[in-house]
Chains A and B, each alone.
Chain A
Amino acid sequence: MSEVSDLKVEPEMARPSKESRRYKIPIESLGLAAAVLIIVIILSLTTDYFFSFENARNVSTAISFMGVAAAIGTLILIGGGVDLSVAAVMAVAGSTAAGLLDAGYSAYVAVIVALFVGLMVGLINGFLIASVGINPLITTIGTGFAVRGFAYIVIESRELNIGNETFLFVGRNDFLGFPISFLIMIACFLGVGFVMRRTIFGQHLYAIGGTPDGRMAALAGVPVKRRTYQMYAAGGLVAALAGLVLATYSASATGNAAMGLELPIIAAVILGGTALGGGRGTVTGTLLGVVLLGVINNGLTLRNVPYVWLFVVQGCVLLLAVVIDSRRERKDVK
Protein backbone atom coordinates (compact mmCIF):
# COMPACT_ATOMS: atom_id res chain seq x y z
CA MET A 1 0.00 0.00 0.00
CA SER A 2 3.01 2.28 -0.05
CA GLU A 3 2.11 3.56 -3.54
CA VAL A 4 -0.91 5.32 -2.11
CA SER A 5 1.44 8.04 -0.95
CA ASP A 6 1.65 9.16 -4.60
CA LEU A 7 -1.84 10.53 -4.23
CA LYS A 8 -0.84 12.80 -1.42
CA VAL A 9 1.01 16.04 -1.71
CA GLU A 10 2.34 18.48 0.83
CA PRO A 11 0.09 18.45 3.90
CA GLU A 12 -0.80 22.13 3.72
CA MET A 13 -2.18 21.65 0.23
CA ALA A 14 -4.17 18.58 1.13
CA ARG A 15 -5.75 20.21 4.12
CA PRO A 16 -9.48 20.03 3.54
CA SER A 17 -10.55 22.74 5.94
CA LYS A 18 -10.83 25.60 3.49
CA GLU A 19 -13.38 24.63 0.93
CA SER A 20 -13.90 27.37 -1.60
CA ARG A 21 -17.16 29.21 -1.21
CA ARG A 22 -19.89 27.70 -3.31
CA TYR A 23 -21.69 30.68 -4.71
CA LYS A 24 -19.35 33.13 -6.25
CA ILE A 25 -20.81 35.91 -8.37
CA PRO A 26 -19.68 35.06 -11.89
CA ILE A 27 -17.59 37.68 -13.65
CA GLU A 28 -19.98 37.85 -16.60
CA SER A 29 -22.83 38.81 -14.25
CA LEU A 30 -20.74 41.70 -12.99
CA GLY A 31 -20.01 42.69 -16.59
CA LEU A 32 -23.68 42.56 -17.42
CA ALA A 33 -24.62 44.61 -14.36
CA ALA A 34 -22.01 47.16 -15.40
CA ALA A 35 -23.49 47.28 -18.92
CA VAL A 36 -26.96 47.88 -17.49
CA LEU A 37 -25.61 50.61 -15.23
CA ILE A 38 -23.76 52.37 -18.07
CA ILE A 39 -26.85 52.39 -20.30
CA VAL A 40 -28.98 53.65 -17.40
CA ILE A 41 -26.53 56.47 -16.71
CA ILE A 42 -26.31 57.47 -20.39
CA LEU A 43 -30.10 57.48 -20.78
CA SER A 44 -30.58 59.37 -17.53
CA LEU A 45 -28.21 62.09 -18.67
CA THR A 46 -29.46 62.35 -22.25
CA THR A 47 -33.22 62.11 -21.76
CA ASP A 48 -35.44 63.96 -19.31
CA TYR A 49 -37.96 61.23 -18.81
CA PHE A 50 -35.83 58.07 -18.35
CA PHE A 51 -34.84 58.53 -14.72
CA SER A 52 -38.35 58.89 -13.36
CA PHE A 53 -40.62 56.76 -11.24
CA GLU A 54 -43.17 56.58 -14.02
CA ASN A 55 -40.64 55.27 -16.54
CA ALA A 56 -39.19 52.76 -14.10
CA ARG A 57 -42.72 51.47 -13.68
CA ASN A 58 -43.18 51.25 -17.46
CA VAL A 59 -39.96 49.33 -17.95
CA SER A 60 -40.62 46.90 -15.13
CA THR A 61 -44.09 46.14 -16.48
CA ALA A 62 -42.86 45.88 -20.06
CA ILE A 63 -40.16 43.34 -19.21
CA SER A 64 -42.39 41.23 -16.97
CA PHE A 65 -43.93 38.86 -19.54
CA MET A 66 -40.61 38.40 -21.28
CA GLY A 67 -38.96 37.87 -17.91
CA VAL A 68 -41.39 35.12 -16.95
CA ALA A 69 -40.61 33.32 -20.21
CA ALA A 70 -36.87 33.90 -19.82
CA ALA A 71 -36.88 32.47 -16.28
CA ILE A 72 -38.26 29.13 -17.46
CA GLY A 73 -36.16 29.36 -20.64
CA THR A 74 -33.08 29.39 -18.39
CA LEU A 75 -34.17 26.13 -16.78
CA ILE A 76 -34.69 24.47 -20.16
CA LEU A 77 -31.41 25.69 -21.64
CA ILE A 78 -29.47 24.50 -18.57
CA GLY A 79 -31.15 21.10 -18.98
CA GLY A 80 -29.66 20.78 -22.46
CA GLY A 81 -32.89 21.65 -24.26
CA VAL A 82 -34.34 24.66 -25.98
CA ASP A 83 -37.94 25.79 -26.38
CA LEU A 84 -38.69 27.93 -29.41
CA SER A 85 -42.44 27.33 -29.09
CA VAL A 86 -42.56 29.67 -26.09
CA ALA A 87 -43.78 32.75 -27.99
CA ALA A 88 -46.51 30.77 -29.75
CA VAL A 89 -47.62 29.26 -26.44
CA MET A 90 -47.81 32.78 -25.01
CA ALA A 91 -50.08 33.77 -27.90
CA VAL A 92 -52.34 30.72 -27.66
CA ALA A 93 -52.70 31.19 -23.90
CA GLY A 94 -53.77 34.80 -24.43
CA SER A 95 -56.16 33.84 -27.23
CA THR A 96 -57.67 30.99 -25.24
CA ALA A 97 -58.26 33.20 -22.21
CA ALA A 98 -59.66 36.05 -24.31
CA GLY A 99 -61.93 33.69 -26.24
CA LEU A 100 -63.32 32.18 -23.03
CA LEU A 101 -63.84 35.61 -21.45
CA ASP A 102 -65.58 36.74 -24.63
CA ALA A 103 -67.86 33.72 -24.40
CA GLY A 104 -68.81 34.75 -20.88
CA TYR A 105 -66.68 32.42 -18.76
CA SER A 106 -65.15 33.71 -15.54
CA ALA A 107 -61.56 34.93 -15.31
CA TYR A 108 -60.62 31.89 -13.20
CA VAL A 109 -61.87 29.43 -15.82
CA ALA A 110 -60.06 31.40 -18.53
CA VAL A 111 -56.76 31.37 -16.62
CA ILE A 112 -56.93 27.68 -15.68
CA VAL A 113 -57.83 26.53 -19.20
CA ALA A 114 -55.11 28.72 -20.73
CA LEU A 115 -52.49 27.30 -18.35
CA PHE A 116 -53.73 23.80 -19.14
CA VAL A 117 -53.31 24.42 -22.87
CA GLY A 118 -49.71 25.53 -22.22
CA LEU A 119 -49.06 22.43 -20.13
CA MET A 120 -50.39 20.22 -22.95
CA VAL A 121 -48.13 21.84 -25.52
CA GLY A 122 -45.21 21.30 -23.12
CA LEU A 123 -46.09 17.63 -22.74
CA ILE A 124 -46.29 17.24 -26.53
CA ASN A 125 -42.83 18.81 -26.79
CA GLY A 126 -41.60 16.43 -24.08
CA PHE A 127 -43.10 13.44 -25.88
CA LEU A 128 -41.53 14.32 -29.24
CA ILE A 129 -38.14 15.09 -27.73
CA ALA A 130 -37.81 12.43 -25.02
CA SER A 131 -39.87 9.56 -26.43
CA VAL A 132 -39.70 10.00 -30.20
CA GLY A 133 -36.17 11.40 -29.98
CA ILE A 134 -36.40 14.44 -32.26
CA ASN A 135 -33.97 17.34 -31.90
CA PRO A 136 -35.54 19.93 -29.55
CA LEU A 137 -34.79 22.86 -31.86
CA ILE A 138 -36.73 21.32 -34.76
CA THR A 139 -39.47 19.95 -32.49
CA THR A 140 -40.28 23.25 -30.85
CA ILE A 141 -40.10 25.20 -34.12
CA GLY A 142 -42.67 22.71 -35.45
CA THR A 143 -44.97 22.77 -32.43
CA GLY A 144 -44.52 26.55 -32.33
CA PHE A 145 -45.86 26.89 -35.88
CA ALA A 146 -48.81 24.61 -35.20
CA VAL A 147 -49.63 26.33 -31.91
CA ARG A 148 -49.34 29.76 -33.54
CA GLY A 149 -52.03 28.59 -35.95
CA PHE A 150 -54.29 27.70 -33.06
CA ALA A 151 -53.67 31.11 -31.49
CA TYR A 152 -55.44 32.56 -34.56
CA ILE A 153 -58.01 29.79 -34.87
CA VAL A 154 -59.43 29.92 -31.32
CA ILE A 155 -60.34 33.58 -31.71
CA GLU A 156 -61.16 33.34 -35.44
CA SER A 157 -58.23 35.60 -36.36
CA ARG A 158 -59.81 38.58 -34.60
CA GLU A 159 -58.20 41.03 -32.25
CA LEU A 160 -60.18 40.54 -29.08
CA ASN A 161 -60.24 43.27 -26.48
CA ILE A 162 -60.43 42.07 -22.91
CA GLY A 163 -62.81 43.90 -20.60
CA ASN A 164 -63.01 41.49 -17.66
CA GLU A 165 -61.96 43.52 -14.61
CA THR A 166 -60.90 40.49 -12.57
CA PHE A 167 -58.64 39.32 -15.40
CA LEU A 168 -57.15 42.77 -15.94
CA PHE A 169 -56.47 43.26 -12.23
CA VAL A 170 -52.93 41.92 -12.58
CA GLY A 171 -52.02 44.23 -15.44
CA ARG A 172 -53.41 47.39 -13.84
CA ASN A 173 -52.56 47.26 -10.18
CA ASP A 174 -49.65 47.54 -7.84
CA PHE A 175 -48.80 45.67 -4.71
CA LEU A 176 -46.45 47.27 -2.17
CA GLY A 177 -45.56 49.85 -4.79
CA PHE A 178 -44.63 47.37 -7.50
CA PRO A 179 -46.70 46.40 -10.55
CA ILE A 180 -48.20 42.96 -9.91
CA SER A 181 -46.96 41.62 -13.24
CA PHE A 182 -43.43 42.60 -12.23
CA LEU A 183 -43.88 40.75 -8.93
CA ILE A 184 -45.07 37.66 -10.83
CA MET A 185 -41.87 37.80 -12.84
CA ILE A 186 -39.75 38.12 -9.69
CA ALA A 187 -41.66 35.18 -8.17
CA CYS A 188 -40.87 33.12 -11.28
CA PHE A 189 -37.18 33.98 -11.02
CA LEU A 190 -37.12 33.09 -7.32
CA GLY A 191 -39.02 29.86 -8.03
CA VAL A 192 -36.75 28.75 -10.86
CA GLY A 193 -33.69 29.79 -8.85
CA PHE A 194 -34.87 27.69 -5.92
CA VAL A 195 -35.56 24.69 -8.14
CA MET A 196 -32.22 24.88 -9.92
CA ARG A 197 -30.08 25.47 -6.87
CA ARG A 198 -31.83 23.59 -4.12
CA THR A 199 -33.76 20.64 -5.51
CA ILE A 200 -32.97 17.24 -6.96
CA PHE A 201 -34.84 18.20 -10.13
CA GLY A 202 -32.52 21.17 -10.70
CA GLN A 203 -29.44 19.12 -9.93
CA HIS A 204 -30.53 16.54 -12.49
CA LEU A 205 -31.09 19.20 -15.15
CA TYR A 206 -27.54 20.52 -14.65
CA ALA A 207 -26.25 16.95 -15.00
CA ILE A 208 -28.35 16.20 -18.10
CA GLY A 209 -27.19 19.42 -19.76
CA GLY A 210 -23.57 18.66 -18.89
CA THR A 211 -23.03 15.92 -21.50
CA PRO A 212 -24.58 15.51 -24.97
CA ASP A 213 -28.08 13.95 -24.81
CA GLY A 214 -27.63 13.54 -21.05
CA ARG A 215 -25.80 10.27 -21.71
CA MET A 216 -23.62 10.47 -18.63
CA ALA A 217 -26.55 11.41 -16.43
CA ALA A 218 -28.46 8.39 -17.76
CA LEU A 219 -25.57 6.08 -16.87
CA ALA A 220 -25.46 7.62 -13.40
CA GLY A 221 -29.09 6.64 -12.91
CA VAL A 222 -30.75 10.01 -13.53
CA PRO A 223 -34.23 9.41 -15.01
CA VAL A 224 -33.45 11.48 -18.10
CA LYS A 225 -36.69 10.79 -19.93
CA ARG A 226 -38.92 11.71 -16.98
CA ARG A 227 -36.87 14.85 -16.29
CA THR A 228 -37.14 15.88 -19.96
CA TYR A 229 -40.92 15.52 -19.85
CA GLN A 230 -41.11 17.51 -16.61
CA MET A 231 -38.81 20.19 -17.99
CA TYR A 232 -40.85 20.82 -21.16
CA ALA A 233 -44.15 20.54 -19.28
CA ALA A 234 -42.94 23.25 -16.89
CA GLY A 235 -41.81 25.21 -19.96
CA GLY A 236 -45.28 25.07 -21.53
CA LEU A 237 -47.05 25.91 -18.29
CA VAL A 238 -44.90 28.93 -17.48
CA ALA A 239 -44.93 30.13 -21.10
CA ALA A 240 -48.74 30.16 -20.83
CA LEU A 241 -48.40 32.19 -17.63
CA ALA A 242 -46.17 34.64 -19.52
CA GLY A 243 -48.86 34.85 -22.21
CA LEU A 244 -51.50 35.66 -19.61
CA VAL A 245 -49.31 38.38 -18.11
CA LEU A 246 -48.92 39.81 -21.61
CA ALA A 247 -52.70 39.66 -22.19
CA THR A 248 -53.45 41.54 -18.98
CA TYR A 249 -50.78 44.10 -19.90
CA SER A 250 -52.14 44.75 -23.38
CA ALA A 251 -55.81 44.12 -22.41
CA SER A 252 -56.23 42.29 -25.69
CA ALA A 253 -55.35 39.11 -27.54
CA THR A 254 -54.35 38.48 -31.15
CA GLY A 255 -52.93 35.54 -33.03
CA ASN A 256 -49.69 37.39 -33.58
CA ALA A 257 -49.09 38.28 -29.95
CA ALA A 258 -45.47 37.87 -28.82
CA MET A 259 -44.48 37.21 -32.45
CA GLY A 260 -40.72 36.68 -32.69
CA LEU A 261 -40.24 37.07 -28.96
CA GLU A 262 -38.53 33.66 -28.62
CA LEU A 263 -35.23 34.99 -29.91
CA PRO A 264 -34.88 37.99 -27.55
CA ILE A 265 -35.83 35.62 -24.73
CA ILE A 266 -33.01 33.25 -25.64
CA ALA A 267 -30.69 36.23 -26.14
CA ALA A 268 -31.45 37.38 -22.59
CA VAL A 269 -30.78 33.90 -21.21
CA ILE A 270 -27.47 33.50 -23.04
CA LEU A 271 -26.38 37.06 -22.23
CA GLY A 272 -26.95 36.11 -18.62
CA GLY A 273 -24.26 33.45 -18.84
CA THR A 274 -26.30 30.30 -19.50
CA ALA A 275 -24.51 27.99 -21.91
CA LEU A 276 -26.30 27.45 -25.23
CA GLY A 277 -25.28 23.81 -24.99
CA GLY A 278 -26.63 23.40 -21.46
CA GLY A 279 -25.17 22.45 -18.09
CA ARG A 280 -24.32 25.94 -16.87
CA GLY A 281 -26.24 29.06 -16.01
CA THR A 282 -28.00 31.08 -13.33
CA VAL A 283 -31.33 32.90 -13.16
CA THR A 284 -29.62 35.95 -11.66
CA GLY A 285 -27.73 36.34 -14.93
CA THR A 286 -30.92 35.92 -16.96
CA LEU A 287 -32.68 38.60 -14.91
CA LEU A 288 -29.83 41.00 -15.69
CA GLY A 289 -30.09 40.00 -19.37
CA VAL A 290 -33.82 40.74 -19.37
CA VAL A 291 -33.29 44.10 -17.67
CA LEU A 292 -30.57 44.97 -20.18
CA LEU A 293 -32.85 44.25 -23.15
CA GLY A 294 -35.73 46.10 -21.46
CA VAL A 295 -33.62 49.19 -20.86
CA ILE A 296 -32.29 49.12 -24.43
CA ASN A 297 -35.84 48.90 -25.83
CA ASN A 298 -36.99 51.69 -23.55
CA GLY A 299 -34.01 53.85 -24.48
CA LEU A 300 -34.61 53.40 -28.21
CA THR A 301 -38.23 54.46 -27.73
CA LEU A 302 -37.32 57.48 -25.63
CA ARG A 303 -34.70 58.58 -28.15
CA ASN A 304 -37.39 58.36 -30.86
CA VAL A 305 -35.59 55.70 -32.81
CA PRO A 306 -38.09 54.16 -35.27
CA TYR A 307 -39.60 50.91 -33.98
CA VAL A 308 -38.25 48.81 -36.85
CA TRP A 309 -34.70 49.45 -35.63
CA LEU A 310 -35.58 47.40 -32.58
CA PHE A 311 -35.31 44.23 -34.68
CA VAL A 312 -31.85 45.22 -35.87
CA VAL A 313 -30.71 45.92 -32.32
CA GLN A 314 -32.22 42.72 -30.92
CA GLY A 315 -30.66 40.66 -33.73
CA CYS A 316 -27.26 42.18 -32.99
CA VAL A 317 -27.67 41.55 -29.26
CA LEU A 318 -28.55 37.90 -29.94
CA LEU A 319 -25.48 37.50 -32.17
CA LEU A 320 -23.30 39.18 -29.55
CA ALA A 321 -24.67 36.82 -26.91
CA VAL A 322 -23.89 33.77 -29.05
CA VAL A 323 -20.37 35.02 -29.78
CA ILE A 324 -19.75 35.52 -26.06
CA ASP A 325 -21.14 32.03 -25.39
CA SER A 326 -18.89 30.36 -27.95
CA ARG A 327 -15.84 32.14 -26.53
CA ARG A 328 -16.75 30.92 -23.05
CA GLU A 329 -17.11 27.36 -24.33
CA ARG A 330 -13.68 27.52 -25.92
CA LYS A 331 -12.22 28.77 -22.67
CA ASP A 332 -13.90 25.91 -20.82
CA VAL A 333 -12.40 23.27 -23.10
CA LYS A 334 -8.86 24.49 -22.45
Chain B
Amino acid sequence: MSQTNLEKEIIFSCRQVSKHFGPIVACDSVDLDIRRGEILAIVGDNGAGKTTLVKILTGAMTPDSGQLIRNNNPIVFESTRDAHANGIEAVYQELALAPNLDVTSNIFLGRELYSTIGFLPYPKILARRKMKALARKEIDRLGINIRDVSGQAVGKMSGGQRQSVAIARSVYWTSDILFMDEPTAALGVKESKAVLSLIRKVADTGVAIVMISHAMPHVLELADRIVVLRHGKKVEDRLSENIKVEELVRMIVGA
Protein backbone atom coordinates (compact mmCIF):
# COMPACT_ATOMS: atom_id res chain seq x y z
CA MET B 1 0.00 0.00 0.00
CA SER B 2 1.25 3.41 -0.86
CA GLN B 3 1.22 5.78 2.07
CA THR B 4 1.34 9.52 1.69
CA ASN B 5 4.80 10.66 2.26
CA LEU B 6 4.80 14.37 2.98
CA GLU B 7 8.10 14.51 1.14
CA LYS B 8 6.37 13.47 -2.07
CA GLU B 9 6.17 16.16 -4.66
CA ILE B 10 3.09 18.36 -4.82
CA ILE B 11 1.64 18.17 -8.32
CA PHE B 12 -1.56 20.21 -8.01
CA SER B 13 -2.73 22.83 -5.53
CA CYS B 14 -5.32 25.46 -4.98
CA ARG B 15 -4.91 28.62 -2.91
CA GLN B 16 -7.70 30.69 -1.38
CA VAL B 17 -10.34 29.30 -3.73
CA SER B 18 -13.85 30.70 -3.14
CA LYS B 19 -17.20 30.22 -4.87
CA HIS B 20 -20.56 31.79 -4.05
CA PHE B 21 -24.01 30.93 -5.34
CA GLY B 22 -25.99 34.05 -4.53
CA PRO B 23 -25.86 34.36 -0.73
CA ILE B 24 -24.61 30.78 -0.31
CA VAL B 25 -20.89 30.28 0.20
CA ALA B 26 -20.03 26.93 -1.33
CA CYS B 27 -16.25 27.29 -1.03
CA ASP B 28 -14.55 29.68 1.34
CA SER B 29 -10.82 30.37 0.83
CA VAL B 30 -9.82 26.73 0.47
CA ASP B 31 -6.14 25.72 0.28
CA LEU B 32 -5.34 22.20 -0.87
CA ASP B 33 -2.25 20.28 -1.99
CA ILE B 34 -2.33 17.03 -3.94
CA ARG B 35 0.75 14.80 -3.97
CA ARG B 36 1.84 12.30 -6.57
CA GLY B 37 0.27 8.85 -6.20
CA GLU B 38 -1.67 9.50 -3.00
CA ILE B 39 -5.29 8.68 -2.25
CA LEU B 40 -6.89 11.76 -0.76
CA ALA B 41 -10.44 11.72 0.57
CA ILE B 42 -12.53 14.87 0.82
CA VAL B 43 -15.32 14.43 3.35
CA GLY B 44 -17.99 16.68 4.77
CA ASP B 45 -21.69 16.96 5.41
CA ASN B 46 -24.19 17.64 2.62
CA GLY B 47 -23.64 21.16 1.34
CA ALA B 48 -20.14 21.40 2.80
CA GLY B 49 -18.80 22.34 -0.63
CA LYS B 50 -17.10 19.09 -1.65
CA THR B 51 -18.64 18.79 -5.09
CA THR B 52 -18.14 22.49 -5.82
CA LEU B 53 -14.46 22.23 -4.88
CA VAL B 54 -13.98 19.18 -7.10
CA LYS B 55 -15.79 20.87 -9.98
CA ILE B 56 -13.47 23.87 -9.68
CA LEU B 57 -10.38 21.66 -9.57
CA THR B 58 -11.51 19.72 -12.66
CA GLY B 59 -12.52 22.70 -14.79
CA ALA B 60 -16.27 22.02 -14.67
CA MET B 61 -16.76 25.29 -12.78
CA THR B 62 -14.71 28.48 -12.47
CA PRO B 63 -13.99 29.92 -9.00
CA ASP B 64 -15.00 33.48 -8.03
CA SER B 65 -11.52 34.00 -6.65
CA GLY B 66 -8.39 32.03 -5.85
CA GLN B 67 -5.60 30.35 -7.74
CA LEU B 68 -4.92 26.89 -9.16
CA ILE B 69 -1.29 25.76 -9.34
CA ARG B 70 -0.14 22.82 -11.46
CA ASN B 71 3.48 21.69 -11.11
CA ASN B 72 4.40 25.03 -9.51
CA ASN B 73 2.83 27.06 -12.31
CA PRO B 74 -0.38 29.10 -11.95
CA ILE B 75 -3.07 27.79 -14.27
CA VAL B 76 -6.65 28.65 -15.28
CA PHE B 77 -9.22 26.04 -16.38
CA GLU B 78 -11.96 27.38 -18.62
CA SER B 79 -13.46 23.94 -19.19
CA THR B 80 -12.97 20.26 -18.43
CA ARG B 81 -11.04 20.15 -21.70
CA ASP B 82 -8.34 22.38 -20.18
CA ALA B 83 -8.14 20.09 -17.15
CA HIS B 84 -7.91 17.02 -19.42
CA ALA B 85 -5.06 18.65 -21.30
CA ASN B 86 -3.25 18.97 -17.98
CA GLY B 87 -3.59 15.30 -17.01
CA ILE B 88 -6.57 15.82 -14.71
CA GLU B 89 -9.64 13.60 -15.09
CA ALA B 90 -12.86 13.23 -13.16
CA VAL B 91 -15.51 10.59 -12.57
CA TYR B 92 -18.69 12.43 -11.68
CA GLN B 93 -21.37 10.95 -9.46
CA GLU B 94 -23.99 11.20 -12.14
CA LEU B 95 -23.41 11.77 -15.84
CA ALA B 96 -20.12 9.90 -15.75
CA LEU B 97 -21.11 8.02 -18.88
CA ALA B 98 -23.38 8.40 -21.89
CA PRO B 99 -25.89 5.63 -21.12
CA ASN B 100 -26.84 5.10 -24.77
CA LEU B 101 -23.28 4.47 -25.97
CA ASP B 102 -21.12 1.37 -25.60
CA VAL B 103 -17.94 1.00 -23.55
CA THR B 104 -15.57 1.88 -26.39
CA SER B 105 -17.53 4.99 -27.38
CA ASN B 106 -17.64 6.13 -23.76
CA ILE B 107 -13.93 5.65 -23.16
CA PHE B 108 -13.06 7.69 -26.24
CA LEU B 109 -15.91 10.23 -26.05
CA GLY B 110 -14.64 13.72 -26.81
CA ARG B 111 -11.22 12.31 -27.76
CA GLU B 112 -12.06 9.91 -30.57
CA LEU B 113 -9.33 8.45 -32.74
CA TYR B 114 -10.00 9.12 -36.39
CA SER B 115 -8.65 9.03 -39.88
CA THR B 116 -9.23 11.32 -42.85
CA ILE B 117 -9.37 10.77 -46.58
CA GLY B 118 -6.24 11.94 -48.39
CA PHE B 119 -5.46 15.59 -47.69
CA LEU B 120 -9.02 16.53 -46.78
CA PRO B 121 -9.45 17.78 -43.21
CA TYR B 122 -13.03 16.44 -43.14
CA PRO B 123 -14.80 14.09 -42.68
CA LYS B 124 -13.15 12.82 -39.53
CA ILE B 125 -13.87 9.12 -39.75
CA LEU B 126 -13.95 7.16 -36.50
CA ALA B 127 -11.19 4.56 -36.16
CA ARG B 128 -13.62 2.18 -34.51
CA ARG B 129 -11.56 -0.99 -34.76
CA LYS B 130 -8.50 0.64 -33.24
CA MET B 131 -10.49 2.23 -30.42
CA LYS B 132 -12.22 -1.06 -29.70
CA ALA B 133 -8.93 -2.92 -29.40
CA LEU B 134 -7.51 -0.26 -27.07
CA ALA B 135 -10.67 -0.27 -24.95
CA ARG B 136 -10.53 -4.06 -24.66
CA LYS B 137 -6.90 -3.86 -23.60
CA GLU B 138 -7.62 -1.24 -20.93
CA ILE B 139 -10.63 -3.11 -19.53
CA ASP B 140 -8.55 -6.30 -19.31
CA ARG B 141 -5.54 -4.51 -17.82
CA LEU B 142 -7.69 -3.24 -14.96
CA GLY B 143 -9.26 -6.67 -14.52
CA ILE B 144 -12.80 -5.44 -15.12
CA ASN B 145 -15.37 -8.06 -16.06
CA ILE B 146 -17.12 -6.87 -19.18
CA ARG B 147 -17.72 -9.14 -22.12
CA ASP B 148 -18.58 -6.69 -24.88
CA VAL B 149 -16.77 -3.38 -25.19
CA SER B 150 -18.79 -2.57 -28.28
CA GLY B 151 -22.41 -3.03 -29.25
CA GLN B 152 -23.91 -2.96 -25.75
CA ALA B 153 -25.08 0.34 -24.25
CA VAL B 154 -23.53 0.93 -20.82
CA GLY B 155 -26.95 1.98 -19.52
CA LYS B 156 -27.93 -1.69 -19.59
CA MET B 157 -24.96 -2.78 -17.44
CA SER B 158 -24.88 -3.19 -13.64
CA GLY B 159 -23.97 -0.26 -11.39
CA GLY B 160 -20.60 -1.78 -10.57
CA GLN B 161 -19.77 -2.34 -14.21
CA ARG B 162 -20.78 1.22 -15.07
CA GLN B 163 -18.65 2.68 -12.30
CA SER B 164 -15.73 0.50 -13.41
CA VAL B 165 -16.13 1.71 -16.98
CA ALA B 166 -16.22 5.33 -15.80
CA ILE B 167 -13.01 4.77 -13.85
CA ALA B 168 -11.37 2.93 -16.75
CA ARG B 169 -12.29 5.81 -19.03
CA SER B 170 -10.65 8.35 -16.75
CA VAL B 171 -7.62 6.18 -16.03
CA TYR B 172 -7.08 5.66 -19.73
CA TRP B 173 -6.67 9.40 -20.22
CA THR B 174 -5.16 10.61 -17.00
CA SER B 175 -1.48 10.88 -16.46
CA ASP B 176 -1.53 12.30 -12.96
CA ILE B 177 -4.71 13.03 -11.05
CA LEU B 178 -8.12 11.38 -10.96
CA PHE B 179 -11.07 12.95 -9.12
CA MET B 180 -14.02 10.78 -8.09
CA ASP B 181 -17.34 11.96 -6.69
CA GLU B 182 -18.89 9.24 -4.52
CA PRO B 183 -17.35 6.26 -6.34
CA THR B 184 -19.26 3.69 -4.28
CA ALA B 185 -22.61 5.43 -3.90
CA ALA B 186 -25.54 3.31 -5.10
CA LEU B 187 -23.42 0.17 -5.26
CA GLY B 188 -23.98 -3.09 -3.43
CA VAL B 189 -21.43 -4.46 -0.94
CA LYS B 190 -19.73 -6.75 -3.40
CA GLU B 191 -19.65 -4.19 -6.18
CA SER B 192 -18.28 -1.54 -3.81
CA LYS B 193 -15.48 -3.87 -2.83
CA ALA B 194 -14.59 -4.47 -6.46
CA VAL B 195 -14.59 -0.74 -7.23
CA LEU B 196 -12.47 0.04 -4.15
CA SER B 197 -9.87 -2.52 -5.15
CA LEU B 198 -9.88 -1.05 -8.64
CA ILE B 199 -9.19 2.41 -7.16
CA ARG B 200 -6.32 1.01 -5.10
CA LYS B 201 -4.93 -0.68 -8.17
CA VAL B 202 -5.04 2.61 -10.09
CA ALA B 203 -3.30 4.49 -7.26
CA ASP B 204 -0.56 1.88 -7.22
CA THR B 205 0.26 2.83 -10.81
CA GLY B 206 1.24 6.31 -9.57
CA VAL B 207 -1.99 8.22 -10.27
CA ALA B 208 -3.14 10.51 -7.47
CA ILE B 209 -6.75 9.85 -6.51
CA VAL B 210 -8.96 12.48 -4.94
CA MET B 211 -12.31 11.06 -3.84
CA ILE B 212 -15.42 12.48 -2.26
CA SER B 213 -17.26 9.92 -0.19
CA HIS B 214 -19.92 9.60 2.46
CA ALA B 215 -18.98 5.99 3.13
CA MET B 216 -16.72 6.44 6.16
CA PRO B 217 -15.46 2.84 6.31
CA HIS B 218 -14.45 3.09 2.64
CA VAL B 219 -12.70 6.40 3.28
CA LEU B 220 -10.73 5.00 6.19
CA GLU B 221 -9.91 1.79 4.37
CA LEU B 222 -8.63 3.46 1.25
CA ALA B 223 -7.45 7.02 1.86
CA ASP B 224 -3.91 7.98 2.77
CA ARG B 225 -4.98 11.46 3.76
CA ILE B 226 -8.30 13.02 4.72
CA VAL B 227 -9.50 16.59 4.24
CA VAL B 228 -12.67 17.70 6.04
CA LEU B 229 -14.83 20.53 4.72
CA ARG B 230 -17.50 22.29 6.78
CA HIS B 231 -19.62 25.19 5.44
CA GLY B 232 -17.20 25.62 2.55
CA LYS B 233 -14.12 25.89 4.77
CA LYS B 234 -11.33 23.36 5.17
CA VAL B 235 -11.34 22.43 8.88
CA GLU B 236 -9.08 19.38 8.89
CA ASP B 237 -6.25 18.00 6.74
CA ARG B 238 -4.32 15.02 8.12
CA LEU B 239 -3.05 11.53 7.43
CA SER B 240 -5.71 8.88 7.87
CA GLU B 241 -3.64 6.69 10.19
CA ASN B 242 -5.23 6.02 13.56
CA ILE B 243 -8.45 7.85 12.82
CA LYS B 244 -11.58 6.04 13.90
CA VAL B 245 -14.99 6.33 12.29
CA GLU B 246 -16.49 8.14 15.31
CA GLU B 247 -13.68 10.65 15.33
CA LEU B 248 -14.12 11.29 11.63
CA VAL B 249 -17.85 11.83 12.06
CA ARG B 250 -17.15 14.31 14.89
CA MET B 251 -14.80 16.24 12.60
CA ILE B 252 -17.47 16.37 9.90
CA VAL B 253 -20.31 17.65 12.06
CA GLY B 254 -17.99 19.87 14.09
CA ALA B 255 -19.08 18.59 17.50
Enumerate chain A interface residues (CB-CB to B < 8 A).
1, 3-4, 6-9, 13-16, 18-22, 24, 194-195, 198-201, 203-204, 206-207, 209-211, 215-222, 279-280, 332
Contact = CB atoms under 8 A, between A and B. Distances in A.
28 contacts: A1-B200, A4-B143, A7-B143, A7-B197, A7-B198, A18-B147, A19-B132, A19-B147, A19-B150, A19-B151, A20-B152, A22-B151, A198-B123, A199-B114, A200-B112, A200-B126, A201-B123, A203-B101, A203-B126, A206-B98, A207-B98, A210-B101, A215-B95, A216-B98, A218-B80, A221-B84, A222-B110, A279-B99
A280 to B, nearest CB: 6
A38 B193 CA distance: 54
Given A3-B196, A221-B81, A14 B145 contact: yes
A16 B190 CA distance: 23
Given A6-B194, A207-B105, A332-B155, A16 B145 contact: no
Interface in B100-153: 100-101, 105, 109-112, 114, 123-126, 132, 136, 140, 143-145, 147-152
Interface of B: 60, 79-81, 84, 90, 92, 95-101, 105, 109-112, 114, 123-126, 132, 136, 140, 143-145, 147-152, 155, 164, 190, 193-194, 196-198, 200-201, 204
Given A13-B147, A200-B112, 19 more contacts: A1-B204, A4-B198, A7-B144, A7-B145, A7-B198, A16-B147, A18-B147, A24-B151, A195-B123, A199-B125, A201-B124, A207-B101, A207-B110, A210-B99, A216-B95, A217-B110, A219-B90, A221-B84, A332-B155
A14 B148 CA distance: 9
A123 B150 CA distance: 34
Contacts of A21: 151
A15 B147 CA distance: 7
Contacts of A204: 110
A200 B105 CA distance: 10
Contacts of B145: 7-9, 13-14
B123 A217 contact: no
Contacts of B144: 7
A280 B156 CA distance: 14
Contact of A210 (B79, B98, B147, B194): B98
A332 B152 CA distance: 13
Contacts of B109: 203, 207, 217, 220-222
A24 B151 CA distance: 9
A21 B152 CA distance: 10
Contacts of B150: 19-20, 22
A182 B59 CA distance: 48
Nearest to A5: B143
B126 A199 contact: yes
Nearest to A194: B123
Contacts of B193: 3, 6
Contacts of B155: 332
Contacts of B81: 221
B125, B147, B198 pick with most chain A CB within 10 angstroms: B147
Contacts of B97: 216
A221 B204 CA distance: 27
Contacts of A200: 112, 114, 124, 126
A287 B39 CA distance: 53
A328 to B, nearest CB: 12
A275 B90 CA distance: 29
B98 A20 contact: no
B194 A3 contact: yes
Contacts of A332: 155
A203 B112 contact: yes
Nearest to A278: B100
